[in-house]
């Protein structure tokens, strides 16, 4: 693995710009949502307040209307009994501003000092007034029975007018119930201020939060960018070694004036060896890319494919590596710890590669006279393949990195062993595409056990 390539100034600028752009997008979208939300809340609150206010006025007017109508006899004249409901009723020209406690619940509203009740003759002549009497009321807007009015002091009023009829359907006059909109307008003004200050405040907080969110969103991109850079640098480094060897061999052949046949053959064998190494490396890289794609496209889908019997597979791998084990003076064997079949769905070639990589590693990192054992077991609905060796082991601080692409442990025991650092990455990618995993336990100078977990088809 080559040292992690550093991010240059241009790339840093690009990341910074992207982060700010992302933050600006977040802030604008959230800002628009909260502004629209603020306006909507304002409108709903004003509307609800207005509806309540009008409902109060209307119910008071209706109660008075229902109560008064039976007492009316002569158009435009108030029966003496009506004074029961209008204790302070008086003719328009009298002083009517004094408020009196009243008996009926509806008239109780008047005591709140914001309602007034007026009785009018059919000619619109004012007959009686109860409650606060605004001076010089002018209708500013009329909509059927509802009116907006303004008095001398510029105070706004909302008023409801209902016609009063005699039993013979002759119009007696009308009743008007109104109230000042001062407290309503104060409420609306306060609400406006709250929204005017609150929304920019919220937008500011959202902008700060957006910057943080953009940072968080960029982290994985930043990391995978680093990984791609590292991967590219490592791949280039690994490819360069055999390519340089081939070039050196060819150049030395060209520079030698006359080569005998044996020398040519030796050089060609060197080129073929390097070419094989290159082809293997390219095949490994392609395989990793394909599996990455598979994992990103179908991370949860079961691996489709043949049914593979892990017992047969382990047996085949053991037989293939028997000669190599013998040559390295190692004892290679298989142990079955379950009698039940161990069948998994998947690609037999890939699963073969997975077990082979682990066995090949165990043989390479175990000194002569050591033991390498393939143990097959089952745990609930998973088949387990343990590849156990009595080799050099792996230091605890190296364990988290050994599955990284191109990562190789570098110490005096591994320096002699050739490898690209892709074996375990490939094994892990194969396990993952088969919905499985690989675990490792290791102790320096005692040995390692790699355990593959694969879901079984009969589970």
List phi, psi (to 5°) of 455.
Answer: -70, 135
419 lies in the site for ligand ADP, by CB under 6 A: yes
* Cβ 421 to ligand ADP shortest distance, Å: 4
- Position 367 contacts ligand ADP (CB under 6 A): no
- Burial of 317 (C-beta count, 10 Å sphere; 0-12/13-18/19+): buried
Three-state DSSP string of 48-112: HHHHHHHHHHHHHHHHHHHHHHHHCCCCCCCCHHHHHCCCCCCCCCCCCCCCCCCCCCCHHHHHH
Q: Rounded to the nearest 10 degrees, how much is the dihedral formed by the CA atoms of 318, 422, 328, 314?
A: -10
Q: Should residue 362 be labelled a site residue for ligand ADP when binding is judged by CB under 6 A? A: yes
- Residue of this chain nearest to ligand ADP (CB atom): 419
Is residue 183 classed as helix, strand or coil in its secondary structure? helix
SS3 384: strand
Q: Which is nearer to ligand ADP, 1 or 53 (CB)?
A: 1
Residues 6+ apart with CB under 8 A from 432: 291, 295
CB closer to ligand ADP, 88 vs 428: 428
Q: How far is the CB of 372 from ligand ADP (least distance, A)?
A: 8
Q: From start to end of 198-263, where are the E strands? A: none
- Measured from the CB atom, the residue of 138 and 227 that comes closer to ligand ADP is 227
- Cβ neighbours of 2 (radius 10 Å): 12
The distance of closest approach from Cβ of residue 296 to ligand ADP in the complex, given in angstroms and rounded to an integer, is: 21
Nearer to ligand ADP, 378 or 408 (CB): 408
Beta strand residue intervals within 105-221, DSSP E: 115-120, 126-131, 138-143, 146-150, 156-165, 171-180
List the beta bridge partners of residue 450. Answer: 387, 440
| Smallest gap from residue 440 Cβ to ligand ADP (A) | 8
Q: Is 394 in the site for ligand ADP (CB under 6 A)?
A: yes
Under the criterion CB under 6 A, does residue 38 sit at the interface with ligand ADP?
A: no
Nearer to ligand ADP, 175 or 284 (CB): 284
Stretch that binds ligand ADP, among 65-73, 144-152, 217-225, 385-393 (CB under 6 A): 385-393
| Given 414, 432, 441, 457, the residue binding ligand ADP (CB under 6 A) | 414
Stretch in the footprint of ligand ADP (CB under 6 A) among 52-60, 213-221, 297-305, 407-415:
407-415
For ligand ADP, the binding residue among 158, 408, 434, 435 (CB under 6 A) is 408
Given the rule CB under 6 A, which residues bind ligand ADP?
361-362, 365, 389, 391-394, 402, 407-409, 414, 419-425, 448
């Amino acid at each position: 693995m080559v040292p992690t390539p550093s991010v240059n100034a241009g790339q840093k600028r690009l990341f910074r710009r992207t982060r700010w752009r992302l933050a600006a997008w977040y802030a604008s979208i959230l800002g628009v949502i909260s502004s629209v939300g603020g306006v909507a809340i304002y409108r709903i609150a004003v509307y609800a307040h207005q509806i309540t206010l009008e409902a109060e006025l209307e119910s008071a007017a209706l109660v008075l209307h229902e109560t008064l109508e039976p007492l009316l006899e002569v158009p435009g004249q108030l029966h003496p009994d009506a004074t029961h409901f209008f204790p302070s009723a008086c003719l328009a020209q009298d002083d009517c501003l004094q408020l009196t406690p009243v008996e009926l619940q509806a008239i109780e509203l008047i005591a709140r000092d914001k309602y007034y009740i007026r009785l009018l003759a059919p000619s619109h002549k004012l007959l009686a007034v109860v409650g606060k009497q605004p001076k010089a009321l002018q209708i500013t807007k009329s909509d059927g029975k509802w009116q907006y009015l303004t008095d001398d002091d510029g105070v706004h009023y909302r008023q409801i007018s209902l016609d009063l009829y005699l039993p013979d359907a002759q119009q007696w006059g009308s009743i008007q119930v109104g109230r000042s909109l001062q407290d309503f307008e104060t409420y609306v003004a306060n609400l406006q201020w709250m929204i005017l200050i609150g929304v920019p405040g919220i937008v500011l907080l959202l902008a700060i939060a957006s910057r943080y969110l953009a940072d968080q969103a960029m982290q994985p991109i930043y990391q995978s960018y680093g990984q791609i850079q590292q991967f590219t640098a490592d791949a280039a480094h690994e490819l360069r070694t055999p390519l340089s060897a081939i070039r050196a061999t060819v150049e030395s052949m060209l520079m030698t004036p006359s080569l005998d046949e044996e020398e040519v053959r030796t050089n060609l064998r060197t080129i073929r060896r390097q070419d094989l190494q290159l082809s293997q490396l390219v095949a490994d890289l392609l395989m990793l890319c394909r599996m990455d794609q598979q994992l990103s496209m179908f991370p949860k889908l079961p691996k489709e494919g043949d049914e593979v019997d892990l017992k047969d597979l382990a047996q085949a791998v053991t037989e293939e590596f028997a000669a190599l084990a013998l040559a390295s003076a190692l004892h290679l064997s298989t142990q079955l710890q379950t009698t039940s079949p161990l069948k998994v769905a998947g690609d037999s070639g890939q699963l073969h590669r997975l077990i082979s990589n682990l066995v090949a590693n165990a043989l390479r990192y175990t000194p002569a006279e050591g033991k390498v054992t393939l143990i097959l077991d089952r745990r609930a609905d998973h088949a387990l393949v343990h590849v156990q060796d009595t080799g050099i082991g792996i230091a605890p601080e190296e364990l988290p990195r050994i599955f990284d692409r191109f990562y190789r442990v570098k110490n005096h025991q591994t320096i002699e062993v050739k490898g690209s650092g892709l074996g375990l990455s490939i094994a892990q990618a194969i396990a993952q595409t088969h919905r499985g995993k690989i675990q490792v336990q290791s102790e320096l100078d005692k040995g390692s056990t790699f355990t593959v977990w694969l879901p079984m088809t009969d589970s």
